[in-house]
Structure 1
Amino acid sequence: MKVLIVEDVTLVADRISDLAKKYLDNCIIKVSHTLEDARYCITEEIYDLLFLDLNLNGENGFELLKSAAAESFQTIIITANREKASIAFDFGVLDFISKPIVEERFKLSIERFLNGHSSHREQLKYLTIKSKGVIRLIKIQEIEFIKASGNYSEIHTIENQSFLHDKNLEKLTKILPDSFIRIHRSYIVNKVKINKVFKHGGGKYSIELMSKEKVSLSRTMYKEFFSDSS
């Protein structure tokens, strides 16, 4: 398991590191003291868990959090500012720990992480799109469906806009709320945007969304989710 700690105060970073080693077996820890170094680490390595301070020598940790929202790892905020921490939940963070760090509170966060606590995904309100060095936030509620595009994904909104995401469908499934289901090897749809389900015969099925867009539905997913409603 790989853990990234983004914290500018060495003593605090050491405290997080010691506790992480205590409660996460055989974890490999990397510490970044700046946002620039943290961005590089996320680009170069695949992490399971991120500990993030939202104030790094005056730099805004939210800039990294926006990028991290598009990743498949989970994030725990470490901060003395509870107001900022509450806003961070909009980006799907797992938990936040107040400074100074209390070991029992830290242990609780690790237990949530290890137990696959999924409420962070349900709290996610934005999906981050990175294009040409610019970060764009797409509201989760505006996403209608997502289509596979090689190693990337096309995000389609209810306003008929489309955006290319640098993560594939498998990775996006891990971070999106449960209202999003993968109905085909090439499609993820937002269940609340489904208008009709069609059975064409010959084992072929499709879904019509609120925008009237039609996407393919696999036989397996039809039987699992929609056969009773047809």
Structure 2
Amino acid sequence: MKILILEDEPVHAKYLIKLLNSILSPSKTEIQHVTSIQEANTYLNQFPIDLFFLDLNIFGSDGFEVLDQIPTTKTITIIVSANTDNAIRAFEYGVIDFIAKPISEDRLRLALERYNHFATTYQKENTNQNTPKSRLLQVDLEDLQNRLSHLMEVKKVYRNEDLSLEVLASELELHPRQLSEFLNGKKQTTFHSFLHSYRIGEAKELLIQYPEKNVSDIGFEVGYKSLSSFYDAFKKELKITASEFRETTRP
């Protein structure tokens, strides 16, 4: 059994590993621990796993970003978090359990029993189906694409600093996982990358069109809550800062 744990606090990770080794057979269990969202994404893209334990607060970053990028129909996930207010949202993503910190051995045993039941059921379904059932079977994909383009390109909803996967899915009358599957499977992107592409795209236009305008004002105008988020996203997209981009485009 291959298990991946995303947890930024070493004490919690070591304790979870200790409990897993006491419940499961160490000789038949391979446990990998990572401490960042980037490491988790890299590992999940490179190696198959049986079970994923995910903390939702990774050095201040939102663990839901990982769920936006992985298909929960293929990656069986258990959330381990002190923030129980996120439990309902987590189950909407398709996770099989939500364990509140601090973890108890009895609660972990129950979660692993749920995993065994889920994995057995999933394997039976896969013997009858070559691929997981899509959440988009009843969705008109061409109409969805048109409505999504209208929201992003005409209404420019990406300027809303509180725009989330859930909010955008609601605008499209979809479940968040349906929108996530559409972006991941049909457009080969994640929600966050999709959102940043529109925000940075307009930021580039504004930097060229209004050379006298403050870079910070442009960042806020296109939907970023903080300057650090804007600067990081811009540099990640173009490999240069917004100010450097402006300099290279001056006549």
Q: For each residue in 1:77-96, what CA deviation from the matched residue of structure 2 results, as whole angstroms up to 9, or x when unmatched?
A: 00011111221111100001
Aligned residue number for residue 92 of structure 2: 90
Write 1 or 2 for the structure with the bigger share of helix. 2
Residues 1:70 and 1:112: Cα distance change in structure 2 (over 3 Å): closer
Alignment partners' CA distance in 2, 1:116 and 1:9? 28
Aligned residue number for residue 137 of structure 2: 144
Unaligned runs of 5+ in 2: 123-133, 146-181, 187-251
Q: For each residue in 1:91-130, what CA deviation from the matched residue of structure 2 results, as whole angstroms up to 9, or x when unmatched?
A: 100001001111111110001111227999xxxxxxxxxx
Alignment partners' CA distance in 2, 1:105 and 1:48? 19
Q: Which runs of 4+ in 1 moved over 3 A?
A: 117-120, 159-164
Alignment partners' CA distance in 2, 1:4 and 1:97? 16
Alignment partners' CA distance in 1, 2:97 and 2:73? 16
Q: For each residue in 1:38-85, what CA deviation from the matched residue of structure 2 results, as whole angstroms up to 9, or x when unmatched?
A: 111101110100000000110110000122235512100000111112
Write 1 or 2 for the structure with the bigger share of strand. 1
Letter paired with 2:89: I
Letter paired with 1:77: I
| C-alpha RMSD of matched pairs (Å) | 2.6
Residues 1:44 and 1:71: Cα distance change in structure 2 (over 3 Å): farther
Equivalent of 2:52 in 50, 54, 61: 50
Alignment partners' CA distance in 1, 2:12 and 2:71? 24
Which has the higher Rg, Structure 1 or Structure 2?
A: 2
Alignment partners' CA distance in 2, 1:117 and 1:35? 25
Aligned residue number for residue 6 of structure 1: 6
Matched, 1:108 2:90: no
Letter paired with 2:10: T
Please report the TM-score for the alignment, with normalisation by the length of structure 2.
Answer: 0.49
Alignment partners' CA distance in 1, 2:94 and 2:72? 10
Aligned residue number for residue 153 of structure 1: none
Residues 1:40 and 1:100: Cα distance change in structure 2 (over 3 Å): same
The 5 Å alignment of 1:20-35 reads 20-25=20-25, 26-35=28-37
Contact 1:69 1:91 in 2 (8 A): no
Aligned residue number for residue 228 of structure 2: none
Which sits farther off after the overlay, 79-88 or 20-29?
20-29
Unaligned runs of 5+ in 1: 121-138, 146-156, 167-230
| SS in structure 2 at match of 1:51 | strand
Aligned residue number for residue 158 of structure 1: 140
Alignment partners' CA distance in 2, 1:70 and 1:112? 15
Alignment partners' CA distance in 2, 1:9 and 1:101? 14
> Identity over the aligned pairs, expressed in percent?
33
Alignment partners' CA distance in 2, 1:119 and 1:92? 15
Task: State the aligned residue count.
Answer: 135
Contact 2:6 2:36 in 1 (8 A): yes
Alignment partners' CA distance in 1, 2:119 and 2:42? 28
Contact 2:72 2:93 in 1 (8 A): no
Residues 1:88 and 1:119: Cα distance change in structure 2 (over 3 Å): farther
Contact 2:72 2:94 in 1 (8 A): no
Letter paired with 2:140: I
Alignment partners' CA distance in 1, 2:83 and 2:93? 16
Alignment partners' CA distance in 2, 1:18 and 1:68? 26
Contact 2:5 2:53 in 1 (8 A): yes
| SS in structure 2 at match of 1:4 | strand
Contact 1:94 1:119 in 2 (8 A): no
| SS in structure 2 at match of 1:88 | helix
